[in-house]
Amino acid sequence: MQAQAQWISFSTIVRKEIRRFTRIWVQTLLPPAITMALYFVIFGALIGERIGEMGGFSYMEFVVPGLIMMSVLTNSYSNVVSSFYSAKFQHSIEELLVSPTPNYVILAGYIVGGVSRGLAVGVIVTLLSLLFTDLKIHHVGVTVTIVVLTSVLFSLMGLINAVFANSFDDISIIPTFVLTPLTYLGGVFYSIDLLPEFWQGVSQLNPILYVVNSFRYGILGVSDVSVALSIGGVLVFILGLFVWSLWLLNHGKRLRS
């Protein structure tokens, strides 16, 4: 398949994915905006006034980066897992797999679709946060890098979840019982410096802690973990999950009936 044809296939998948979540924006873009606005009001404005400062910043300033990252990763994941599983459920993914389109193009198209929704929600939440606090970016490069890499990572996770899911209920198991607990325990609402030494060690096993703190460093300039280690770890995970996802597509694992 020539490069121009691959580009047409890739852009077609991306346009389909973007149109999919923008067409039903009331279900895909509005709910996370409302949810994050409530977080800002309750945790930032109301509870934050009683907590005072954390990490040398007001509590509102401290939680905003974590809430933005939480919205980005959950929406990147949700977009791919729901879209890919729907294609699998309707057996339309089989037509795509037997087409001349290389599997890495298919994979890249779904990833970009997930990243697009994650970044779109991230921008919306960031604009909402400006109503509650002044947001200044400490390091643009780190901020952009970690948010894009995180979107890619969780898009890949969503695709793998969709491949192994047997029903629509299965695509909600990982977000509900794994992703949500790890997010809440990933330093979104607190610094791990507040925890006893044992629980600090346990928290450092949580991968979301690293992406949240790296993004917080990009915005505020403070982090509980090494930013270089976090970005390196995310890159390793992306590479591993990309290879795994490509292997699943190449072998039609749980995709072809």
Give the model confidence (pLDDT) of 135-150 as tens digits: 889 999 999 999 999 9
Calpha distance 77→208 (Å, rounded): 13
Q: What residues contact 114, with CB distance under 8 A and at least 6 apart?
A: 17, 76, 77, 79, 80, 151, 152, 154, 155, 158, 159
Does the pLDDT of residue 92 top 80, yes or no? Answer: yes
Find the domain containing 143 and state its range: 3-251
Q: What residues contact 43, with CB distance under 8 A and at least 6 apart?
A: 59, 63, 189
Least confident of 16-20, 53-57, 149-153, 237-241: 53-57
Average pLDDT, the chain: 91
Contacts of 190-195 with CB under 8 Å at 24 or more apart are 190/54, 191/54, 191/55, 191/62, 191/224, 192/224, 193/55, 193/224
pTM value? 0.93
Q: Is 96 part of a structural domain of the chain?
A: yes
Q: Is 84 part of a structural domain of the chain?
A: yes
Does the pLDDT of residue 131 top 60, yes or no? Answer: yes
How many domains is the chain built from? Answer: 1
Q: Is 243 part of a structural domain of the chain?
A: yes
Q: Is 215 part of a structural domain of the chain?
A: yes
Q: Is 256 part of a structural domain of the chain?
A: no
What is the chain's Cα-based Rg? 19
- What ranges in 24-135 are assigned the alpha helix state H? 25-28, 30-39, 48-51, 59-89, 92-97, 103-129
If pLDDT is split at 50, 70 and 90, which confidence band does 196 have? confident
Q: What is the mean pLDDT of residues 114-132?
A: 95
